[in-house]
Amino acid sequence: MRTDNGIEVEDLVREFKKGPRAVDGIDLTVAPGEIYGFLGPNGAGKSTTVHMLTTLLPPTAGTARVAGHDIVKEGPAVRDAIGVALQEAALDQFLTAREHMRLQAGMHGLTKADAQRRGDELIARVGLSDAADRKVGGYSGGMRRRLDLALALVHEPAILFLDEPTTGLDVQSRTALWDEVQRLASSNGVTVFLTTQYLEEADALADRVGIIDTGRIVAEGTPDALKAEIGRPTVEAAPADEADRERMRTVLSRFGAEAPAGPDGVAVRLDEGTHELAEVVRALDAENLTIANLEIHAPTLDDVFLAKTGRRLEGAGDEEAQATGEHEAVPA
Binding site for other proteins (CB under 8 A): 1-2, 5, 31-35, 54-58, 71-73, 75-76, 78-80, 82, 84, 86, 88, 90-92, 94-95, 99, 102-104, 106-111, 113-114, 117-118, 135, 151, 154-156, 158, 182, 185-191, 207, 331-332
65 or 232: CB nearest other proteins? 65
Least separation in angstroms between CB 65 and other proteins: 13
CA R_g for the chain: 23
Task: Identify any residues that bridge with 96 across adjacent strands, giving them in sequence order.
Answer: 135
75 or 141: CB nearest other proteins? 75
Nearest C-alpha neighbor of 148 from the set 131, 162, 169: 162
Nearest C-alpha neighbor of 54 from the set 14, 16, 83: 83
Least separation in angstroms between CB 199 and other proteins: 20
35 or 123: CB nearest other proteins? 35
37 or 239: CB nearest other proteins? 37
User: What DSSP assignment string belongs to 242-311?
Assistant: GGGHHHHHHHHTTTS-EE---TT-EEEE-TT-GGGHHHHHHHHHHTTPPEEEEEEE---HHHHHHHHHSS
| Contacts for 117 with CB less than 8 Å, ≥ 6 apart | none
Residue 95, SS3 per DSSP:
coil
Least separation in angstroms between CB 307 and other proteins: 27
Cα atoms in the Cβ-side hemisphere of radius 13 Å centred on 58 = 4
Least separation in angstroms between CB 331 and other proteins: 6
72 or 321: CB nearest other proteins? 72
Q: What is the rounded distance in angstroms from the CA atom of residue 214 to the CA atom of residue 41?
A: 9
Least separation in angstroms between CB 224 and other proteins: 15
Q: In what order do the strands lie in the sheet with 82-85?
A: 82-85, 159-163, 191-196, 35-39, 208-213, 216-221
188 or 290: CB nearest other proteins? 188
62 or 233: CB nearest other proteins? 62
Least separation in angstroms between CB 52 and other proteins: 9
What's the DSSP call for residue 108?
T
Least separation in angstroms between CB 271 and other proteins: 36
